[in-house]
Structure 1
């Protein structure tokens, strides 16, 4: 009798693990429970569906439920929710319609993801007020914009979702107001990036309200305005994008330990405090490559990579889920902004480093080659060791250069070592001294 691998959650981590187990051990029973109907979808693409760059919501689905069932032989059960985990009996209780049943497991993966944070705002239930964290929400926003033809949008939160939705709704012809309670947008990217992005957002017609707290929304049945501390501003649609929280209630109720970030604590193989229970994706912690401490950075690659590794471990090939650096990139109209590692002095000090940083601007191409643009690069290092701690990049082209910095972090390189990296050069692609190398050279000089 074959062993049974049960997965709770049918998106990136869960389906990566299920697929890997089936590839390695085709005879093993693999059962995936997904409370919704969508699986294996690209949540990062949802703003571009609302914008109109993606024609059909189904285009965001990587592998369909039918393909998982028929081609990969995964027992995928959509519309069925796991409501309890009994670790002693090694069973999960499943809600299917009005009925419940018990499903035994030998190994269990909790991949329940995260949910959009809903602040205690007045009027959050008004028609026209949305979060955007799943496919149905994205579809509802697109329908609302198409059918109701709103003219003014209020976006609450200046993170990834806020910036991307500002672009999406501007492209749909709306007058966009973006509200951020902090001094800058894109707080995890650092001030040099934020200042460039903010200037560009204003150039694109976005009305920025920084250091502005929203208290709620006003309207009869539909949203008509956003309430601030000392004024009310008209709004026909509102998007609340203030972050996500890991879905840990199910695991916590079963005695699965949470870590210091509030997400599920795991070891290097994705195991929880129960050797037969794993966790991966937006509900789980991972180890930060710079600090060596647990961190929670819910991003797509982290989930996919961890799910695949857990699938290998479950089938007898112990595979670490990998460290994270919080490497991220976001499109802000015509700009790209990216970051990795530590890009904040206070965070660096809290981690035990003595941070030194520089910010430089350089051309993305050779100065004589047409269509180059200014790229702003910030790098952080530890004063004593010279170790690279992190960096950020922002500009009209070349933001993917952040991958060079992320690779250097993974290798534990010093700034002096990074400045001597043998990067490619040709005039259409970079100056002789790539902006990353120039930044490393300047920072190395500052450390001398």
Structure 2
């Protein structure tokens, strides 16, 4: 009798694991329980659906449930919620199709993701107040904007979602105000990036409110005002709350699966929890940071897909590490790209035992004589004693994907001098002779001497 691999959660980590495990061992019974109806979807594309650049919500689905069942032979059961895990008996309790039943497993993956944080504001239940973290929410926002044609939109939170939704709703004709309680937007990207993005948002007509905390929303059934902590209020016909996400850990915690220091599920290098045959991956789980070597929680799509795929191999007899993370991320802010990787915060670097040194340079994305050159700003951080790179950021109208060079260097343990001497490609349509990343590394290397 073949083993049974049960997966809880049908998005990036879960479906990557299920697909890989079935490819590696066609005789393995693979069962996926997903409480919703959507699986394997591109959550990062939802703001662009609301904006109108993606025609249909279904276009964001990478693989349909039918293809998983018919082509990949995965027993995918949508509309089924796992409500309990018993690691000692190796069973899960499931509710679906109007019944409750138990399912045994030989291997279990918890890939239940994260949920949008909803602060304890007044008025979050008003019509027109949304978070955007799943497909149904994206559909509801698009329908509301289409039907109501709001004149004034309020975005609460200046992270990825806030920036992307400001662009989306502006494109839909709304006057957009963005409220951020911290001094800058895109806080993990550092001040050099934030300053450039903030100036550009204002140029695009976004009414930016920094150092401004929101306390709630007013309206008679439907939102019409955003209330600030100082007692002032501003008009709003639609509100997007995008203040971050929290890992979904209740199911695991109730089962005795240990949480880590970040509040997400603790895992080893193979994605295992404190139970040898129970794994966790994706937005609900920790991963090891490549710079510090310590657990971290950075919920991003590639992290989830990669970890799920590795676990799919491990459960079929080929132990495969899930891989370290650097927190590499990129966001589009109207005409700008902003990207970051590793550790940019110097206080965090010191807490990790480093003596951080940083530089920020402004350069051109191509030679000045070549058409289309744009200003680009690169920040690099390194450890004074070892010269090892700790992190970096890039912002500009083109070339933000240069962050991948820095991320690769972090995974290789590269020093600033080694990065400076890296043989990168050059041709005028693509970069100057000294790519801006190399120039930043050259300046940083000199500062470390």
Once the two structures are TM-superposed, the CA of residue 347 in structure 1 deviates from its matched residue by 1.0
Residue number in structure 2 paired with 1:19: 19
Residue number in structure 2 paired with 1:210: 210
Residue number in structure 1 paired with 2:28: 28
Residue number in structure 1 paired with 2:342: 341
The whole-number CA distance in structure 1 between the counterparts of 2:348 and 2:220 is 44
Residue number in structure 1 paired with 2:413: 412
The whole-number CA distance in structure 1 between the counterparts of 2:231 and 2:374 is 40
| TM-score computed with the length of structure 2 as normaliser | 0.99
Which one is further off, 75-84 or 228-237? 228-237
Once the two structures are TM-superposed, the CA of residue 11 in structure 1 deviates from its matched residue by 0.1
Which one is further off, 346-355 or 287-296? 346-355
Which one is further off, 202-211 or 89-98? 89-98
Residue number in structure 2 paired with 1:157: 157
Residue number in structure 1 paired with 2:180: 180
The whole-number CA distance in structure 2 between the counterparts of 1:329 and 1:98 is 42
Once the two structures are TM-superposed, the CA of residue 385 in structure 1 deviates from its matched residue by 0.7
Residue number in structure 2 paired with 1:254: 255
**Deviation string for 1:59-118 (max 9, x for gaps)?**
000000000000000000000000000111110000114310000000000000000000
Residue number in structure 1 paired with 2:76: 76
The whole-number CA distance in structure 2 between the counterparts of 1:443 and 1:107 is 48
Residue number in structure 2 paired with 1:116: 116
Residue number in structure 2 paired with 1:363: 364
Once the two structures are TM-superposed, the CA of residue 166 in structure 1 deviates from its matched residue by 0.2
The whole-number CA distance in structure 1 between the counterparts of 2:205 and 2:348 is 33
Gaps of 5+ in 1: none
**Deviation string for 1:277-323 (max 9, x for gaps)?**
00000000000000000000000000000000000000000000000
Give the secondary structure class of the aligned counterpart of 2:310: helix
Once the two structures are TM-superposed, the CA of residue 27 in structure 1 deviates from its matched residue by 1.0
Give the secondary structure class of the aligned counterpart of 1:282: helix
Give the secondary structure class of the aligned counterpart of 1:36: coil
Matched, 1:92 2:92: yes
For residues 33-432 of structure 1, what are the structure 2 equivalents within 5 Å?
Answer: 33-228=33-228, 229-432=230-433
The whole-number CA distance in structure 1 between the counterparts of 2:220 and 2:296 is 42
The whole-number CA distance in structure 2 between the counterparts of 1:346 and 1:335 is 27
The whole-number CA distance in structure 2 between the counterparts of 1:99 and 1:155 is 40
Gaps of 5+ in 2: none
Give the secondary structure class of the aligned counterpart of 2:195: helix
The whole-number CA distance in structure 2 between the counterparts of 1:90 and 1:368 is 66
Once the two structures are TM-superposed, the CA of residue 371 in structure 1 deviates from its matched residue by 1.0
The whole-number CA distance in structure 1 between the counterparts of 2:288 and 2:399 is 28
Once the two structures are TM-superposed, the CA of residue 230 in structure 1 deviates from its matched residue by 2.9
| TM-score computed with the length of structure 1 as normaliser | 1.00
